[in-house]
Amino acid sequence: MLRSLILLFAGLFLTACGSTGTSEYSKSDITGIPMTIKLIDYRSGLTVGLVNDSHSDRVTEYSEERHDAGIKIASDEIVATTIEYVQDQGYEKYALRGLAPLRSTTYSKCLEIDDPQGVRYMAITDNSSDDEKLVMQNSLIQLMSVYNMVYGAQRVSNPSGADLFYDNRDKLHQNNSGKQYR
């Protein structure tokens, strides 16, 4: 965890300084090239990810109403550095070419990357090796660390209005009182 945070801050520092460093992607290699990295958790239905500025316009993306706020837009350098970190963990050894399935009863999680090398995904099942699970775990820790630091202001459809917060509060109270809630 500490190593990944150090690598993240080093990447952010190099980006802020304008240095291209010795990374796989130089600034000229990534500027203007759309890139995406996203997690699909089939058990919870959660999809979160990052796209770069070359992929989507922030104003357009964030002002359009969506059903969730799972995708955030980061700089070209941040997304490229995150993808590079995931690749360094051993992602390519387990990646399959093509788009990750939208739904799956076999996979528990998929990590999908779309960059100049093409679209591919790494999937985890109950039968995945310990090494595959470790690669996925380290990659997801990094992705979620970066994701949580990226500002996002997505407009989300919420027909229930403020009741959303009250409903969730009531669910928490029910769970804490020993009652089962599904």
Q: Where along the chain do its domains lie? A: 2-176
pLDDT computed for residue 62 by the predictor: 58
- What is each CA distance from 67 to 3, 46, 114, 146, 163, in whole angstroms? 35, 12, 23, 22, 17
pLDDT of 84 > 90? The answer is yes
Range ranked top by mean pLDDT from 17-31, 44-58, 106-120:
106-120
Mean pLDDT of the chain: 78
pLDDT computed for residue 182 by the predictor: 43
Q: What are phi and psi of 7, to 5 degrees?
A: -65, -40
Greater confidence, 61 or 45? 45
pLDDT of 136 > 90? The answer is yes
pLDDT digit string (tens) for 111-128?
Answer: 999 999 999 999 999 999
pLDDT computed for residue 22 by the predictor: 38
pLDDT of 32 > 60? The answer is yes
Task: Kindly state the average pLDDT of the residues 20-28.
Answer: 49
Total-model pTM = 0.69
Which residue, 148, 11, 144, 31, is CA-closest to 85?
11
pLDDT of 83 > 70? The answer is yes
Greater confidence, 4 or 123? 123
pLDDT computed for residue 16 by the predictor: 46
pLDDT computed for residue 1 by the predictor: 55
